[in-house]
Every structure is written in structure tokens, then in C-alpha cells.
Chains A and B, each alone.
Chain A
Amino acid sequence: MAASGASASASDDVPTYEYIDINTKPFHVGTFEKFWKESLNPKYYSFQDVDQETEDEEFAAEIGILPETVNELKVTCSKDTLRCHPENQPPDTDVVPADPGLITLRMKKRRQDYKETLIRDSTSRQDFYATELEGLGIGKRPADLQDMVPEGEIILNVNVLFPILHERFKYFRARQTLHVLGSHRLTDLRDAICCLSDLQVSGEFSQTPDIAPEFISKDLFKSAFFFLEGIFYNDMRYPECKDLSQTIREWGESHNFPTFQTAKMEDTRFRDLRIKVGYPYLYCHQGDCEHVVIITDIRLAHRDDCLDQKLYPLLTYKHRMVCRKCGVCNLYISRWITTNDSFAPTDPCLFCEICFRMLHYDTKGNKLGQFLAFPYVDAGAFN
């Protein structure tokens, strides 16, 4: 039925399990992509819809049967044969039937009965936003055809976990999920990862609150690396970038580890990588902010995917953090934290931008009273 890629079966670049259901053996992403394209009829991964009539004719011709037989098949195999209710009486799909035969349904039924005993039952907001975000990309087409994702492009599903900065995260792995394309470079992924430590501003700014945004860590410390399959990929796009992996490599050498290789993040496309799917890798930035990165899935782009190249790397899931709100208005997200503050009810105290300015400065922007002010980045800053 399709051109078969006989060469593919024996190769190392056909992903297989290293540990079942956990991770695969390492394989070359570009070769994997090539194998799929060689073994598939391009029609199979095309974004175009197929016309049923011509499709049936081709089918008949391909396997050498009469059009009448195809018509017969069309009737016997039609999707109507799957329907279990009269055509004009669709069942209520929100309700589990009263006396279910399927085991799965019996379990669902128990849960439904339990939910009915609850006084209030609300979808968690986490789920609600997740649904919304997931829906954003589906079936998107670019305004300009130039930006169309090419047919047969590969999409990698990347999970980036947040580091455990707080006791609370010990039991829950907050993460964000991104879709990147095979043509993307590692730096594209790096720029798409939103981490709080990139936004930190260090220092005391009570005298000069206006210049605080100029000292964001992201702009000051630009180095970062990915560590994938024994290779450090360093971000070297700017002259002030340093090889963060150097210390690790030197340490490794002095402890008889095999020498690690390095490469440039901006020169490496995902297609060039040799990786394991499902295996935890490392992303490190700001010196010591470490994220576990897992590539959970690689596949050919599908008609129903977001096909606007500009929207990639596409965020498909992001854990929502609890925000700490301003201590005065309890309405806006906090931007400042003060200590030794004679105006504040607590020490330290959080303020939003507006309340902070109103309370601590006169209309001309002069500092009133004694306090120390530090920029504060809330965990919910990316929500």
C-alpha cells in the first residue's frame, strides 16, 4: 500500500525502547524523520484533505478490485455502523448510562455517583487554563503562506520542568510544555523557556525605583547551556557569554570522567541532535538555575496542528502558580518588597507598583521616610 522503507528496519535510528515505557535508545532525529518520509506516501502526511471519490477510485485501482466491490465496502464499513443509538436521538454523553456493561464505565459511574454527593464540585483552574491554552494552537493557519510549516516537518514535544525552589514544589513537578520544530535551533527553545530567575533584579532601589528594570538578570547574565547525551551546548550568541560548562568539565576531567564535548547552542538544530525520547536532560542558566528537560514525543506535523511557523516554539501547557498580591490593595500582583518600612503593616511587606509609588514617594518622585525597597518577582509573573 505504500513505498516501504526496507532500509529502516535494521537501523539504530529507528527509535526503540531502552526501558519499556520509560525511554528510548538514542537515535538521530534527522534520520528518523528521513525514514518516516521514505516509508510513507506523501499523501499520508499532507495537510490537504482528500477527496473521498478519487480516494475510492484509487483504492480500487491499487488493489485491483471492481468499483462495485468498493461501493459495497463503503456501505458495510461506513461509520454509521458504529452508531449505537437511533440517528435522531443522540444520547447525553455527559451521563454514564444507568447499568453499564463495560468495566471502564462502572468505574466512571462510581466516580460520577461520588461527585453527586459533593456539595460543590468545580473544575480546577489549572485544568481550565490548560484546556484554553491547548485550544489556542489547534488548526491555526498563517496569514502569510510563507510562514506555513512545511509538510513533513517534525514537531518535538518538550517538557521543561521548573527547578525545586520551594518546599511546596517537592511533591508536584511544575512544568511547561512546548512544541518546537525540527528546523529550530536550541537557542529558540532557550528563549521560549520562561523562568523566574531570568527576571530577578538584585539590589536595593529605594532611591531610584525607575532604573530597576535596567538590571534584569536576563540582560546581565546571558550564558546558558543544555546538556544532552554527553554534550554541552553553550549559548554563545553574545560577546559577554561565558562557557558555563567549563567548571563542570574541568571537575569531570580531574575525577576521571570521560571528556565531555561542547557545541554551540545557536549552531545546533533539533534535527541534528542525537537523543533519547523520554530521557531527562539538563538546561542550566543564570549560573545555577537548573531545569530538567524531557523530549516526550517526536512526530511528523499533522493537518490539525498549528501550522503557523511564527507561533513556534508553541506553548501548550504551563503550570499556573499562586500569585502573592499587594499588601495594600490586595488586587494587583506584587512588584516590590520593602523592609524597615515605617509605612508598612508587616516586615517585609509586598506592594504593587501603584500602591508602592503612592505610599512611598511624593508627586515629584521624592522618597518619603525611611525604608529599603527591593524589586520582587512573583511566582505568578508568567501566568
Chain B
Amino acid sequence: MDYFIEPVKSDCEDILSRFQRTESVRYEEFATIWRKMDFPSIFYGKMPANETRAFCRLVLTTAYPFLLPPYNFQIRVGGLYLLYGLYNTQLAVPKEKISIALKDWENIMKFLQDALSSQHYDVCYIFRQLISDKAFYFAAMPKQLIFQVKRKPKRQVVCEEFRDRPARVKELITSDTLEEIMNVQEHYEKLKAAISATPGQPDPAISLINKDLGTSLQNTVTGYQKWLDGMAGKKNESGDAVADPGEGTSQQGESSRRAELLASIKSKSYGQLVEASKSRRHRQVEMDPLASEAERSHEPTRKRMPSLKARTKKNLLSKGNLKQEILEATKQWRLSVTEEDKSERPRQKARFKY
């Protein structure tokens, strides 16, 4: 059954990214995409009854993580709608349930609270429907665990476009950590000056670190925040344009106003820090918002060395013509083999491969 995980996951990502493009959290938008994609057909196709059940369970457990962080609010709304759709269109009788883990419950409650305070009533209503349909198992874990230790554990890949981005930077660099970094930097510079031969001037040989570390970090963060706010603003504008003229507009407006407020609070806290550190360091700092651009796009990539087997094969076997023979020799595992057996060796069974 596990071979279905990947395709189901990419189908879910597909519908959610289409939903993301609408830049809306309205259920109507989702339902339109759902119908256009004929999503319920994911359950079609003949299967033995217990496999049907296992497949439904697999689909639901695959869709479940989209309801949780690190995905952003819009994707989580989409994830909830997706679960609602999948739960109600599945073919198992009685319906397979969605397992909610205890550790995720509080998170989901917070999410609903957010939805409610931004007046996204359709989100609350859909969740309420699932609850009253008894669609959930209140469980220990979101799936059954059978100690399936794999030799090559699969990394859980989070679709990057769906991530809740601002939170990551915010978590990493708070104004507290920034201040801490600056203090350390200052202390470090002083130390260097103290041990240097020319008093008051740090030895140029040990100036290995960017002197403006704190400031440039802070600029990067502020710049990023501004860029994000710009994006959010754009989103809200277009959202307003698309949304129906009734309650939709007021809701969108409401939530964007909230976002603006939040953003302004954030930028203020960074701004204050700039002032403080400047005064402390008695030095003018040049702003360079573009310099950080390159740093941001730079992501560490790691290249994997091919395996020993692959390297041997490449080095030895690809050169000579004796390739076939060698391969043949290592394949034979019996001491004596009849001629027919030999000729018959590469036997292929027409088995179905996923």
C-alpha cells in the first residue's frame, strides 16, 4: 500500500497549490477547484474490500499534515477543506476516520481560534461538521505504528511554497537575540583591541569577521520583513478584488488590517534596536539592504558521493568489453550449472511493478 503515499501526496499538493493561487480562504473557491479536478475519483478503481479501507486510511493520513504547521494559514485551511472532501467522498463503509494526535489538538484549536477572530466562518463551520459527523479518532498518533524501521528512512518533505515563512525568521532572530549578538560583537572587538600591539586599534591580521555583523543582520531581517509585508499587501489587494462584495470584503479588510498592525509592531521593535545599538557603538552605520539579497538566496547544497559499487562499476566495467562476462560470473551462485540453466538465467517474470 505504501507505494501510493507519494502519488497521493503530490495530488494533495497539486490541489492545495491551485487553492493557494486563488489567494483566498473561501470554501467556495476550494470546492470549485475540487470539482474541476474531479478529486473524488482518487478513490475509484476496483480493489478488494480491505484494501479499499487501507487505501482510504492512507489518503486521509497523507492529507492530515496539511492541517498543521509548518504550513501557512491558507494551506491549513485548504488542508481542512481537503480532509472534509476526502472524508465525505471516500468509498469505505462505514467511513474510515481521521486520526488526530493529542499533541496536535491544541494547535488545531489555536488555528480555529485564528480563523474565528478573522471571521472565516466557513472554516469553523466545516470543522464543526466533521466533529458532528464523528469523523475523528482522538488518538495517540496520527497513524498506526508498527515499528517499521527502514534501512533508508524517508525524509519528510515539506512543500516549501506552503510554508509559513515569516515565522521562521521571526523565531530565529528576535530582537533579544539580535541585541545579544551585538553585545557579543562589541565585546569581541574590545577584546581584540585590548590584546593588539597598537593600543585602541585591533590588529588587522585578526580582523576576520564582518564588523557590521549585527547591523547587516538586522537590515536583512527588516528588509525581509518589508518585502513580506509588500507581498501580503499585494495579496490582500487582489484578494479584495476577487472576493464577493458582501461579507468577504470586510473580512479580508479586517484580516489585512490586523496583519498591518502586527507588521508595524514588528518593524518598530527592530527599528528601536537600531537606534539603541547606534548610540552604544558611537559609530555611524551604512544601510545596505541589497547586500543581504545575495546571502538570502544562497542555500547550502550538498553533493553526495556515489556509492562504492557505483564507482567500481564506472571505473572498471565501463572500460573493457569483458563487462558481460564478469557480471555473469558474479551472478552464478551455484557450484555447477547446466548449460540450459545458464542460458535461461535472465528470467523475467511479468510482475506488476509500481
Contact = CB atoms under 8 A, between A and B. Distances in A.
A binds B: yes
Interface of A: 1-2, 4-6, 8-9, 14-17, 19-24, 27, 32, 35-36, 39-40, 44-45, 50, 52, 55, 59, 63, 65, 69-70, 73-74, 76-77, 79, 81-84, 91, 93-97, 100-109, 111-112, 114-115, 123-124, 127-128, 130-131, 134, 138-139, 157, 159, 277-280, 294, 296-300, 302-304
A210 B49 CA distance: 44
Interface string B80-102: 00001100110100110101011
Given A27-B140, A59-B128, 9 more contacts: A40-B138, A84-B34, A84-B41, A102-B11, A111-B354, A134-B53, A157-B144, A277-B141, A302-B134
Contacts of B146: 159, 278, 294, 296
B148 to A, nearest CB: 6
Contact of B46 (A6, A23, A52, A95): A95
A81 B4 CA distance: 26
Interface of B: 3-4, 7-8, 10-11, 14, 27-28, 31, 34-35, 37-46, 48-51, 53, 84-85, 88-89, 91, 94-95, 97, 99, 101-103, 105-106, 109, 112-113, 116, 121-122, 124-129, 131-132, 134, 136-141, 143-149, 153, 156, 352, 354
Nearest to B124: A63
Nearest to B53: A134
A127 B148 contact: no
B44 A82 contact: no
B58 to A, nearest CB: 10
B42 A297 contact: no
Nearest to B113: A1
A91 to B, nearest CB: 7
Q: State the main secondary structure of chain A at its contact with B.
A: mixed
Nearest to A108: B45
Those 8 A-B pairs whose CB atoms lie nearest each other, nearest first: A278-B145, A299-B139, A81-B31, A131-B49, A108-B45, A104-B7, A103-B7, A296-B144
A103 B15 CA distance: 12
B352 A21 contact: no
B156 to A, nearest CB: 7
A114 B352 contact: yes
Contacts of A298: 139-140
A139 B95 CA distance: 12
